[in-house]
Amino acid sequence: MGLYFKGEKYILCPTDSYHLMLSLNSACVASCIAKGSAYHVRTGFDVVKLNDEYTGPDTVMSSFRTPKPSEGPVMFRRGSKYYVLAGTACCACIGGSTIYVLSAPSPKGPWTYQGDIGSNPGKFDSHSPNNYVTKAQGSAVIAIPNPSNSEAQYLWMGNQWNSGLALKPPGPRNHDLLYWTVLDFNTNGTLNQVVYSETATIQLA
């Protein structure tokens, strides 16, 4: 993990391959630094290369769509493949959202939809708080080196909006919980369904 200073900004890179997930003024954007370039995913979705100062857009690289209107994109790179994970609209909702998975060989695309790994199997019930595995909306993916091999571990984190209301008395927004899970990749780069767990195990030593 490295901390780099660029202009008046500090840039935190979790790995030597310069993976970076940022939130730029909104929970509905994401960035990924690769080989010195920064990319911003705009909800909608457009992948935009940022200028050298990371202060504004430079070039629209590609666009893609999800099965349903979504937000909160998280972009990261694993090996030679780029990923964007996004969730259905969840503005401070209770119950969470999907985890739509898209991948591409470069920020230029083409983006391939791999599926939804965050919904519980079964019929969707718009009145149920149990439609989604994590009861959270994605906010970040962090690449953590695995000391036992060369493969990084990818930790997904999501906000369980309004979970603090379960406290007695109800807690404020900063009492909401953050759900963690380690993403499970297949050898072909696809992702397996997220399985609910009250623990997440990360290899650190």
* Helix (H/G/I), strand (E/B), else coil: 174: helix
Q: Model pTM?
A: 0.82
d(CA 199, CA 67): 30
Structural domains of the chain sorted by starting position, each given as residue range(s) with its CATH number in brackets: 2-182 (2.115.10.20)
pLDDT band at residue 168, thresholds of 50, 70 and 90?
confident
d(CA 167, CA 111): 41
d(CA 183, CA 112): 18
What pLDDT score was predicted for residue 30? 55
For 163, list phi and psi in degrees, rounded to 5.
Answer: -65, -25
Percent of the chain with pLDDT over 70: 83
What pLDDT score was predicted for residue 154? 95
pLDDT band at residue 32, thresholds of 50, 70 and 90?
low
What pLDDT score was predicted for residue 163? 84
* Mean of pLDDT values over 187-197: 95
- The mean pLDDT of the chain is 82
Condensed to tens digits (0 to 9), the pLDDT of residues 58-102 reads 999 999 999 999 998 999 999 999 999 999 987 777 889 999 999
The more confidently predicted of residues 200 and 127 is 200
Residue 34: pLDDT over 90: no
